[in-house]
Amino acid sequence: TLKVRVGRGDKVLFWEEDWSGHGTLHSLFPGLFSISLNTGCSIQEMWSPQGWNLTFRRPLNDWEIPWVVDFLTLIRNFPGTNTDADKLIWRHHNDGIFTVNRVYKRGLSVAAGRSTGPWNTIWKSVAPNKVKCFTWLVARKACLTHEALQKSGSIIASRCLLCKEALETNKHFFMHCKVTTQVWAMFTSIAGINLIMPEHTAYLLSCWIRRGGSKNQKR
C-alpha cells in the first residue's frame, strides 16, 4: 500500500523499489534485470533530461526486444526528477500521508465491501469464549483435522474419527459424516426448518444464523 514519490531520485533504487506504482522493475522484468549494468543505481543516476540511461552487458536478442518495449512503455510517463526529497506515500489517500486513523477507516471501508459471513455473529454471541473460538476455527477450516495436518506436512493416514468410512476433511467431519448429519438433523428439527447442506462450513453457519430457530435456540 506504500509507494515511492520520486523527488531528487537519489534515495530511490531504480530497479528495486516500487516508484512506478506497478511493482519493482526487478520483479516485473527479471530478464532485463539479469543483463543490466545498472542494477544498483538510483533513479537520479539513471535519469537525464534526454531520458533513461539504460545499458546492458551484451546486445539484445530479438526475443528480448518486446521486453524492452513493455519496459519503456511502463515508465514513459515519468515526469523527471526535481529538487524535492524522495518520500514514501500511502496510495490510498490523495495527499499520500499515512495515519493510523486513515488506515482504520480504510479497513472499515474494505470490510464493508466484503461478505461478512458468520464472523460478527460468532464473536457477538453469548456462547463461552472457547465455543466461539472453536466455531470460528471450523468456519475458517483451521481445525486440526487430518486434512489440515497433511497440508502442514504431517504424514498421517486419514480416516474420519466418527464414521471410520471416509477421509477426515473439514467438510466431511463437520457437515457430511453420517454421525454429524444426525446432530444437524436434531438441531434443525428443534428449530423447525429444512436445511440443505451447502458447500462450505462458513456457508452452513451463515444459513443457520439466517434461517435457524429463535435466538435462544441458536445460542
pLDDT digits (tens, 9 = 90+) for 26-62: 999 999 999 999 999 999 999 988 889 889 999 988 8
Does residue 213 share a domain with residue 123? yes
Let me know if residue 99 belongs to a domain. Answer: no
Let me know if residue 178 belongs to a domain. Answer: yes
Does residue 125 share a domain with residue 83? no
pLDDT tens-digit series, residues 113-163: 455 566 677 777 777 888 888 888 888 888 888 888 888 777 778 889 899
The domain total for the chain is: 2
3-state secondary structure of 210: helix
Q: H helices then E strands: how many in the chain?
A: 12, 4
Domain that holds residue 148: 119-218
Contact 17, 86 (CB under 8 A): no
- pLDDT of 104 above 90: no
Query: What pLDDT does 138 receive?
Result: 84
Given 69, 90, 111, the domain boundary residue is 90
Supply 138's cell numbers: 471450523
- pLDDT of 214 above 50: no
Contact 176, 155 (CB under 8 A): no
Does residue 8 share a domain with residue 73? yes
Q: Is the pTM of this model over 0.85?
A: no
